[in-house]
Structure 1
């Protein structure tokens, strides 16, 4: 079936519905950076597009399509937003969809509506906002079903969202919900969080030793009395070098010298670099090759082997907003090893704690990892990146996106009988 992609962003609906066999014939998106990414990622030639849904004069100006998909802005509904509800400046754009529907003759209206929003829509304004959504769809001629689905069933990110399907009355369409968890797990992109992580990450994503200590103490991972028993790996040092000058252009740590090798707890190194130092057993190096770092970009001080196994026993724990000692979101600072990451948002930069129980490093997620956590492919990310989209916008776009594998599963159940 043909579909229109409203509030398109970077095309979570586009990717999911096309994977399910549907065809995009029009898209609407006002953000210039999202449009830049969208056009780089997809073949939009010959399709209808508009920048601003409020400037579309009539629903009759939109091409015919059996499906209208929209994740209308949740800014005023989300618990992380200002909670003004559907009357807020962004979230009221839902009513633009209703306006465009009402402009079309009954025969020209789409057979199916697919809406996504935050779970908090159910309780926003004591539930009246959700009731208003259902009532508006009902008046437009649609019977409605809905379900809350968690993206953690398809990707390692905890992201609860409500998906609402509107079925045009008089058209024989198939019910979509309920969707069993097993149906979604068949589309799982990554098994666990560590599978999402890039093998080698630039040092700019890693926190300094002092910041790591703050977060570990703040998150009750360690106590002050336990500080002397652990090693903190960060990107600053106490050797007189600046934090930008710890590792030279060849990737060799300037903090490691022949006289300092015994004082490993006082030396901070960039854990993403590969450096060489001869016979450096105290740094986890191989006495033959002198390699200080593993080929996965993690310091071997984090790689504890067991029984000759080649797999490092590194704990990968989600870290809530590592760039903020005082976090905005409620709840724990760290999750358990390989639990789903905290919900990706447009504002918060979540990260991971890497440890073996004695040595700790914390870093922020990269933009690519955030895109992976929404189900987009590396190829799609690279197309957006090569089109000139900045890292800050790539983060924002991931936070705004709809989880692709969820949409794909729903898309395969959208049928006209």
Structure 2
């Protein structure tokens, strides 16, 4: 381990995407010592923003080669457990969840790293549907594996609308290694998930006043979206485009936003078709500090990256709650970094 001060710690960023979890942990003094992300376009963005190119496919990384770290962060893949992903795979007659060898079993690659490196704290993120997928079996397997690895697990679905003008429900899974923290908290770690301050977040706050006309929907696409919505409305379905109140919040930004932008369209007044968000606006909607981050990929890839990302402000709020536990442990006389180092030495024999 590196710095042993109270405020700093080392972490790794697995399934890193464009670093939403990283930004959250860096905000409380963390230093990233290793990152992994297989998508080449996301690697390009990550390198431009953080100065390092992530390692690739986690399946090709030997767990023992990963640097020692205090906190493991991972936004492990959403698609096998998402409502859209499950629906698509069912329609194609394909397996999903842990039966999907290509994607679902990546959780077990993650657990191999956890088993090898024994981090003191886990910070994991996934889609809301993770807890209900396969009638709860997927979540039972995940939570049982983390318990088996020695972690006290805390999980909650958090809506990012408390921090950004977007409804975005995701499950955050926090694990505290028992052998590290039990001496300070014999009755369980007093971790509490964050609660937003209740301040309203308005969509208009992230919008630019002047936007290139290329983001305005064509007459053909706008007519198609209206007809599609009318057809489903007649059937009693709620499918259709979204034109949110500019003083309110939007639907969830998805990775497919680049296709037609239908879930979040911005009204431009009478006589003009609505428009998509620009990539920079999409980044702001996700809470990324776009005043200092440059988009270095195509619009299509930028939309995909933001649609798959973790909201940094939520990651920061969760990280600050973890920090409270670490501070409490210190006050109770537990040097959790030393304790973790001792456990690693014992594991090494």
TM-score (norm 1): 0.65
Question: CA contact under 8 A between 2:268 and 2:275: conserved in structure 1?
Answer: no
Distance in 2 (alpha carbons) for counterparts of 1:75 and 1:145: 22
Give the structure 1 partner of residue 214 of structure 2: 204
Give the structure 1 partner of residue 36 of structure 2: 28
Offset, 1:137: 0.2
**Structure 1 stretches of 5 or more lacking a match?**
221-328
* Correspondence for 1:354 among 260, 263, 267: 267
Distance in 2 (alpha carbons) for counterparts of 1:215 and 1:44: 41
Give the structure 1 partner of residue 23 of structure 2: 15
Distance in 2 (alpha carbons) for counterparts of 1:345 and 1:158: 11
Of Structure 1 and Structure 2, the greater helix share is in 2
Give the structure 1 partner of residue 90 of structure 2: none
Distance in 1 (alpha carbons) for counterparts of 2:19 and 2:196: 24
Offset, 1:160: 0.3
Question: CA contact under 8 A between 2:152 and 2:177: conserved in structure 1?
Answer: yes
Structure whose CA Rg is larger: 1
Distance in 2 (alpha carbons) for counterparts of 1:214 and 1:345: 20
Distance in 2 (alpha carbons) for counterparts of 1:376 and 1:405: 8
Q: How does 1:54-65 map to 2 (within 5 A)?
A: 54-57=59-62, 59-65=63-69
Offset, 1:112: 0.4
Length, aligned pairs only: 292
Give the structure 2 partner of residue 195 of structure 1: 205
Distance 1:348 1:30, change over 3 A: same
Distance in 2 (alpha carbons) for counterparts of 1:15 and 1:203: 32
Give the structure 2 partner of residue 171 of structure 1: 180
Alignment deviations for residues 201-254 of structure 1 (CA, whole Å, 9 cap, x no partner):
11111123454355446546xxxxxxxxxxxxxxxxxxxxxxxxxxxxxxxxxx
Give the structure 1 partner of residue 249 of structure 2: 340
* Correspondence for 1:40 among 30, 33, 48: 48
Give the structure 1 partner of residue 195 of structure 2: 180
Distance 1:212 1:101, change over 3 A: closer
Distance in 2 (alpha carbons) for counterparts of 1:60 and 1:194: 47
Question: CA contact under 8 A between 1:28 and 1:53: conserved in structure 2?
Answer: yes
Alignment deviations for residues 255-295 of structure 1 (CA, whole Å, 9 cap, x no partner):
xxxxxxxxxxxxxxxxxxxxxxxxxxxxxxxxxxxxxxxxx
Offset, 1:345: 1.5
Offset, 1:336: 4.8
Distance in 2 (alpha carbons) for counterparts of 1:346 and 1:212: 20
Give the structure 1 partner of residue 285 of structure 2: 373
